[in-house]
Amino acid sequence: MAFLAKGRIFAAAVVAVLALATGAQAASCGKNSAGFEAWKQEFAAEARSNGVGSKGLAALAGATYATKTISVDRAIHKAFSGSVEEFMKRRGGAAIISKGRSLKKSNAALFGKIEATYGVSPGVLLAIWGMETGFGASLGKQNTVSAILTLAYDCRRPGFFYPHAIAALKLVDRGALSASSVGAAHGEIGHTQFLPGNVLQYGVGNGNLRDKATALASTANFLKAHGWQAGASASANMGAIAGWNSASVYQQAIARIATAIDGD
């Protein structure tokens, strides 16, 4: 999910439900790479106390400061600027609708099973899938562990990313991630772009979100947990969509795309 998906609505819940941060977060945040290695040593002790094992700690030790992630993060709000019409044009809304309708038909059994299990209609899942990764065409090339640790270290929002950094290391311990796994710039994973803490909480099956069926079912599980009402339209489920992404233009675009796909 896009970074804003894990904003104000969800940050407190991640900490409370996952209980990933049992102590105070690492004290020495930074604004550049200068203090990153020293911070990693502090964070390693906290990670260990939060249950991170040897594989996760090794991944932490090998992580590097993600300059590209910081660059993308500083420009994040520009990506969600303007009207919903402008946003949809930039993100290829018409193409998402067209391909989404085709994929809905060719994957009817999968979407039918997901809807029967979670009550979430195909349109919103296809809208999110298309918006986030172009239906799996672009899963990202940034090292996931380095990205999420860099954001936990960075002084802009360390409190938000701290539990996700712990989660990423736990996912390495479990084998769902490796030290070399790649994804989006903010550490998002898989076809629909989950942050690591959300993988732990809402991921289904083996948690391999690079598998489309697992990613789509996990997304449906997330939306259900955030209040999705089965049988209601996407526009009537804006609260659940807002849980996925806090940007208004994104929410409106997803609702419009979902409605167009489900109306086919």
DSSP letter string over the chain? --GGGGSHHHHHHHHHHH----SPPPS--BSSGGGHHHHHHHHHHHHHHTT--HHHHHHHHH----HHHHHHHHTGGGGG-S-HHHHHHHTTHHHHHHHHHHHHHHTHHHHHHHHHHH---HHHHHHHHHHHHTTTT----EEHHHHHHHHHHBTTSHHHHHHHHHHHHHHHHHTSS-TT-EE-TTS-BTTTTB-HHHHHHH--TT--TTSHHHHHHHHHHHHHHTT--TTS-SGGGHHHHHHH---HHHHHHHHHHHHHHHT-
- Residue pair 66/81 in contact by the 8 Å Cβ criterion: no
Confidence of residue 3 (pLDDT cuts 50, 70, 90): low
pLDDT > 70 fraction of the chain, expressed in percent and rounded = 90
> Mean pLDDT across the chain, nearest whole number?
91
Among 6-10, 152-156, 234-238, the minimum mean pLDDT is found in 6-10
- Residue pair 155/35 in contact by the 8 Å Cβ criterion: no
Q: What is the largest CA-CA distance in the chain?
A: 55
Q: What is the pLDDT of residue 1?
A: 52
- Write out the two tokens for 241: 């969509």
Mean pLDDT score, 54-80: 94
Beta carbons within 10 angstroms of residue 16's beta carbon: 11
pLDDT for residue 21 is more than 70? no
- Write out the two tokens for 45: 């002790």
Q: What is the pLDDT of residues 178-224, one digit of tens each?
A: 999 999 999 999 999 999 999 999 999 988 999 999 999 999 999 99
Nearest C-alpha neighbor of 144 from the set 174, 170, 165, 119: 165
Q: What is the pLDDT of residues 39-62, one digit of tens each?
A: 999 999 999 999 999 999 999 999
- Write out the two tokens for 148: 């999420």
Among 17-21, 86-90, 229-233, the minimum mean pLDDT is found in 17-21
